[in-house]
Amino acid sequence: MSKLDASDLIESNLLVMTDVRKAFGGVPALSSSTLEIRPAEVMGLIGQNGAGKSTMIKVLNGAYNRDSGTITFDNKDWKANSPQEAQRSGVSTIFQELNLIGFRSVTENIYLGREIKRFGGLLDWAAMNAGAQKLLSRFNVSIDVTEPLSQSSTAIQQMVAIARAVSFDAKLVIMDEPTSSLDDAEVNILMRTVQQLKAEGVAVLFVTHKMDELYRICDRITIMRDGKTVAVVEPKTTDKLQLVATMLGRDLADVKKSGATAFSGTSEIGNELLSVTDVAMGTRLSSVSLSIRQGEIVGLAGLLGSGRTETARVVFAAERADRGTIRFNGVPTDFKSPQITIAAGMGFCSEDRKLEGIIPDMSVADNLTLALMPQLTKSGLLDEKAQRVVVEKFIQSIGIKCSSPDQKIRELSGGNQQKVLLARWLAMNPKLLILDEPTRGIDVGAKAEIQSLIRKLAIDGLGVLMISSELEEIVEGSDRVFILREGRTIQELSKDEISENAVMHAMAHGMSAPENAERETPS
Amino acid sequence: MTLSSGFLVRYGALLALIALLAFNFAVTPNFATMQTLSVNLTQVCTIVIVGIGMTLVIATGGIDLSVGSLMAIAGALSPMIFMGTLIPIEPLWLAITLGIIVPILVAGMFGLFNGWLITRFNIQPIVATLVLFIAGRGIAQVSTNGNLQVFKVPEFQALALARVLGVPFQVWVMLLLVIISAFLLGRTIFGKQILAVGGNEAAARLAGIPTRKIKMIVYGISGLFSGLAGLIVIAMNSAADANLVGQGMELDAIAAVAVGGTLLSGGRATIVGTLLGALIIQLVRYTLLANGVPDAAALVVKAGLIVLAVWLQQRGR
Amino acid sequence: MKSNQNSGLRRLFYSPTFAVVIVLLLLTVFGSLRYEGFLGAYNVSSVLRYNSMFAVVALGMCFVIMTGGIDLSVGTVAAASSVTAAIFSPYGLLAGLGAGLATGFCFGLLNAIIITRLKILPFIATLATMLAASGTALLLAHNETVSVSYDTAFTSLGQGDMFSFMRPEWVDADGASTPAKFLGFWLAFPIPAFLALLAYLVGALILNHAAFGRHVLAVGGNEDASRLMGLPVNRTIFSVYLISGSCAGLAGVILAAQFGAGQPIEGVGWELFAIASVVVGGTLLTGGKGSIGGTLAGAMLLGLIFTILNFENGVGWISLSAYWQSVVRGLFLFFVVVMQSRLSGVRARS
């Protein structure tokens, strides 16, 4: 594309981002990202966690300033220092967590910040209500605009957000995973809205992890990986498998075990520990089934938003399922709180260390023994000697680097924090450990250590449910893999069937590649 | 930079107290006397006792506005029991024992009520405890009909007035509670769990900590300590006035906690800090008074002190 | 358009404000049937006169709470304002009024600065201001009440009647007809109540018909979203504390004028009365949803409870002391917050 004359490029495009970089504290989040969007084009954007999508969106919506690179929008050099500036210049963003105000009326949510006023600065409600109604009618939405927004469904709320964006004369609307909490009917409504926008000459940047949606709505798709734009493809000419492979950085022709991870060794597989059958919860999970046996690492794969974390939380009783059965050690269980689940022998390392893992102001020792503490007490008193013994043991055995057990955990690196959290559960001698993205945000060395530790634990008889967005981790680490897609289990792969190709295929299409599809998908 | 500001947060209260003491030794006449010590310690006693409960509550990320009203309830109930106005109780020692234990337990029950409101209905602590802040004093006033209960029962009043080694008994009670609570917070599993709940409630829940139970208990403790403080106040005054006992105590306690270095958003707390905080506020007031500055000005200084302490704390993080 | 009106009616019907108004009416009917003179001109006017200052404080509190904040300083700020108003009252009505309002405004400014610049929680910031205002009041008043000047018209701000100058004699004649009594009542409408009413009208106008009012609710509803929508979040928060301070200032003026003295130690617990009024009136304590009319109704309801308890003492079978008022208020608050929590819980789940 560098062969093209620059001015041509800019003229035929609404937006041109070239070589945009953005780093945080020296760590690049965007290293070389390009993006071109033509007027009235629906551009898909896809990439794994950490691929740089959200950084790119935030540069475009004015939340971040780029470090370097050029952005041309509407034939002008473009820069926005705040979401408001971006909005005024014609770039509006519909966030995943809808940034609207539920208590306020639909009209207000559309007009807040640039209210229509009459003489004396008083609000002209009649004009605003009429305007809101008119705007929404363009998308075939007819609701009482004076009702609080929270009374409407999520899809309608999204429509209101879009109407707000359009009312700012947006030329480009960025939608960040707009369908993540919509049901099928609502997705259809949204798709129609996107088409309506396109028909009116508005370009859309559509960020999603759902293959079907990308192929249904997008004119082109930009694929990002590791902070770089790696490809721009057309759905017509690229199949889903190829797309997923590009996104994950895999060469289709060369799918083999590269040995990039440190899961070495095999473990004895024992009796069934946990079985989950047909579990559903809200809009996130519709039918999840899986099982784990002693000494087995079970990988739970799927694209973002496929319900992996939700599955883990339901199993751990951090959230209640709407239906379905969970058996632990062969016995049907109805755990009511994590406390009970833990007592039964489960542990759960959550995906977000900061939000749900560490207690930042507490010491390494206290964080490590947080769950174990009830067993370290003598008549209510914390037995500090016993605690010290346990802590020293784990600091030694899994190599936690800290100045002392009394150091505050927030001062540790991500990898060491993760090891402390792992140790928090290992100290409990659990039967089953649920690991949600155990190596996310951890440097390479620590990553390998944690991976080999997980295998060692399985060899010792522990059952592990491992959620990971990293394909090689799933493929090389798992003894069995369950693949989730849009809240349901669509495939189970046994040890022999596991391959990057099979996993990607299932993630992309909802079933495994023909050569691997000897087994039927569990219904 | 982070080291020095961290140092300031950790030892700021202690340094401020030492500076104040030094200033007073140098400037204030008759400062280095047992009399001065006794006066100042007696003044902070109830604030510290209530402040301990408040520290535990704030450590979980909550707040308790009802402490003053619970003091009034305990203060109103106690004389009714040991003076036999409710039901005559025969041996005096039994009446006094009940007159101490029952009001404290009742205040503790009201504290549990606060906890119940907060955990059962997910009501913000500031609002939930506002209910008893308003109604609690009313309950005390209604049960005494707003009358002053005057009594002269030395055996009961020993709670505040008796002297051990020349120091009022209530000061010993306060010190004992400070030591026990500091131990509780620092050395027991319960203390760790309190800090875990305040530090990261979601993580604490996932680590199997019974977050609701912990919260219930801290509000219960806050109630118990408020009840005890109420008894000390009436023992000191040899009278129980439901209108006045514990008036404004919630502010004094919160101020002591904040100045002492406990993080108001929860997760980091120090009982000894609360003691120091209360001493600092008291000593500032004493210093100003002893040097001819009116009491009202001390209020303004106290206000500035609270803002300064909280601001420093936030910068230290 | 018709469905709009219908839903509007329905919404009114289900709103907490509506419930408060109904309870208020029921209590009024109950009182008028049970007690003699309950709806008499004297009682009504004195209830309105006395409660007007609380109502004004609640108005300012309502704006603060709608942004999700809280202002604990209103009581002592009102006390401090009553002192300055009393000090300036010899220079005329406007001087006293101006001094009181300015005092309130300054403390509001102090709150606003501590909260938006130093980023200290409203709860702590206003707590400190509460102490500072109390200290200032005592310092200015030299620890005693400050008599206001009766040479100027200042006291009419608390004690005067709105239309006393045009009051015909026949409305006060013995055996005056009912319409005459009615007219007499309205001509005797107390000036402080009029001021409060005026403040509420302005408040309602600002909340419902000015961009600022909508921003207040938007900020309380979702601060991050408001920021992303480009609303002036900091300025909005800053302003509500100025409003609350000024309202407390006005309440202080009324206090001084009504009781003929600046009262440095008044105002204890006013903030809680105000918070309770706001909450009972259907404003969400977490912000984002509120009603000016509901706050007025809430303040009147809490005031009415006190009046009824007073009357009950005169005639009742059970002698309910005035002390019951805080118990009843607390119970009220209890039911309201539990109901609020249940309602919002249901909403979150559905």
Location of structure tokens 């998908």: A521
With CB atoms and an 8 Å threshold, state whether B134 touches C134: no
Quote the minimal CA–CA distance from A173 to chain B in Å: 35
Q: Which residues of C touch A115 (CB under 8 A)?
A: 211, 214
Q: Above 50 in pLDDT, residue A2?
A: no
> Any chain C CB within 8 A of the CB of A118?
no
ipTM higher than threshold 0.85: no
DSSP string, C41-91: HHHHHHHHHHHHHHHHHHHHHHHHHHTT---TTHHHHHHHHHHHHHHHGGG
Tokens of A175: 């939608």
Backbone angles phi, psi at A215, to 5 degrees: -75, -20
Measured between CA atoms, the residue of chain B closest to residue C70 is B126
Q: Above 60 in pLDDT, residue B287?
A: yes
- A-interface mutation test, from C202, C219, C228, most A Cβ less than 10 A away: C228
Considering only CB atoms, A359 lies closest to which of B187, B200, B263, namely B200
Quote the minimal CA–CA distance from B62 to chain A in Å: 17
Q: Name the pLDDT band for B160 (thresholds 50, 70, 90).
A: confident
The overall longest dimension of chain C from CA atoms, in Å, is: 66
At A10 the pLDDT is 56
With CB atoms and an 8 Å threshold, state whether B195 touches A350: no
Please tell me which chains touch B, using 3 or more CB pairs under 8 Å as the contact test. Answer: A, C
A239: left (phi over 0), alpha (psi -120 to 50) or beta: beta
Q: Which residues of C touch B146 (CB under 8 A)?
A: 321-323
- pLDDT winner (highest mean) among A45-59, B29-43, C210-224, C271-285: C210-224
Q: Which residues of A touch B202 (CB under 8 A)?
A: 355-356
With CB atoms and an 8 Å threshold, state whether C337 touches B304: no
Measured between CA atoms, the residue of chain A closest to residue B265 is A361
- C-interface mutation test, from B300, B301, B305, B314, most C Cβ less than 10 A away: B300
At A12 the pLDDT is 79
Of B109, B71, B43, B53, the closest CA to residue B231 belongs to B71
At C190 the pLDDT is 86
Distance from C-alpha of B233 to C-alpha of B71, rounded to nearest angstrom: 9
Contacts of A5 (CB under 8 A, 6+ apart): none
CB burial of B124-140 (b: ≥16 within 10 Å; e: otherwise) equals bbbbbbbbbbbbbbbbb
Location of structure tokens 């022999």: A496
With CB atoms and an 8 Å threshold, state whether B303 touches C128: yes
Q: Name the pLDDT band for A200 (thresholds 50, 70, 90).
A: confident
What is the rounded average pLDDT of the residues A329-334?
82
Please tell me which chains touch A, using 3 or more CB pairs under 8 Å as the contact test. Answer: B, C
Q: Is C85:C257 a contact under the CB 8 Å cutoff?
A: yes
With CB atoms and an 8 Å threshold, state whether A121 touches C211: yes
Instruction: Return the H-helix or E-strand segment holding C336.
Output: helix C324-349
Measured between CA atoms, the residue of chain C closest to residue A168 is C229
Measured between CA atoms, the residue of chain A closest to residue C213 is A123
pTM, two decimals, is 0.80
Q: Above 60 in pLDDT, residue B317?
A: no
Q: Which residues of C touch B133 (CB under 8 A)?
A: 272, 330
Percentage of chain A lying above the pLDDT 90 cut? 9
Query: Helices B34-59 and B189-199: crossing angle, nearest 10°?
Result: 60
CA A398 to chain centre: 28
Q: Which residues of B touch A417 (CB under 8 A)?
A: none
Considering only CB atoms, B208 lies closest to which of A355, A366, A371, namely A371
Task: Count chain A–chain C contacts defined by CB atoms under 8 A.
Answer: 71
With CB atoms and an 8 Å threshold, state whether B189 touches A361: no
pLDDT digits (tens, 9 = 90+) for B55-85: 999 999 999 999 999 999 999 999 888 887 7
With CB atoms and an 8 Å threshold, state whether C8 touches A125: no
Give A88 or C103, the one with higher predicted confidence: C103
Rg, Å, chain C Cα set:
21
Q: Name the pLDDT band for B110 (thresholds 50, 70, 90).
A: very high
Considering only CB atoms, A359 lies closest to which of B196, B210, B263, namely B196
Of A501, A513, A456, A455, the closest CA to residue A479 belongs to A455
- The DSSP bridge partners found for residue C281 are none
Q: Above 50 in pLDDT, residue B3?
A: no
Q: How many residues does chain C have?
A: 350
> Any chain C CB within 8 A of the CB of A96?
no
Measured between CA atoms, the residue of chain A closest to residue B267 is A361
What is the rounded average pLDDT of the residues B110-120?
94
pLDDT digits (tens, 9 = 90+) for A136-150: 887 777 888 888 888
What is the rounded average pLDDT of the residues A330-344?
85
Q: Which of A278-287, A327-336, B119-128, B307-316 has the lowest mean pLDDT?
A: B307-316
Quote the minimal CA–CA distance from B59 to chain A in Å: 12
At C14 the pLDDT is 61
Contacts of A31 (CB under 8 A, 6+ apart): A21, A52, A226, A227, A228
pLDDT digit string (tens) for chain C, length 350 residues:
344 445 566 666 566 677 778 888 888 888 888 877 777 777 888 888 889 999 999 999 999 999 999 999 999 999 999 999 999 999 988 999 999 999 999 999 999 999 999 988 898 899 899 989 999 999 999 888 888 888 888 888 878 777 666 666 666 666 667 777 777 767 778 888 989 999 999 999 999 999 999 999 999 988 888 888 888 899 999 999 999 999 999 999 999 999 888 888 888 778 888 988 898 888 888 888 888 999 999 899 888 887 887 777 766 555 566 677 778 778 877 887 787 676 654 443 33
Considering only CB atoms, C326 lies closest to which of B128, B138, B306, namely B138
Percentage of chain A lying above the pLDDT 70 cut? 89
Strand segments, DSSP code E, in A341-500 are: 346-349, 377-378, 381-382, 432-436, 463-467, 480-485, 488-494
Contacts of B261 (CB under 8 A, 6+ apart): B9, B10, B12, B13, B270, B273, B276, B277, B309, B313
Tokens of B282: 């008291």
Tokens of A63: 């939340």
Q: Which residues of A touch B181 (CB under 8 A)?
A: none
Give C297 or B87, the one with higher predicted confidence: C297
What is the rounded average pLDDT of the residues B299-303?
85
Q: Above 80 in pLDDT, residue B89?
A: no
Q: Is A299:A495 a contact under the CB 8 Å cutoff?
A: no
With CB atoms and an 8 Å threshold, state whether A150 touches C3: no
At C101 the pLDDT is 95
> Any chain C CB within 8 A of the CB of A417?
no
Q: Name the pLDDT band for A445 (thresholds 50, 70, 90).
A: low
Supply the mean pLDDT for chain A.
Answer: 82
Q: Above 50 in pLDDT, residue A206?
A: yes
Q: Which residues of C touch A150 (CB under 8 A)?
A: 347
At B64 the pLDDT is 93
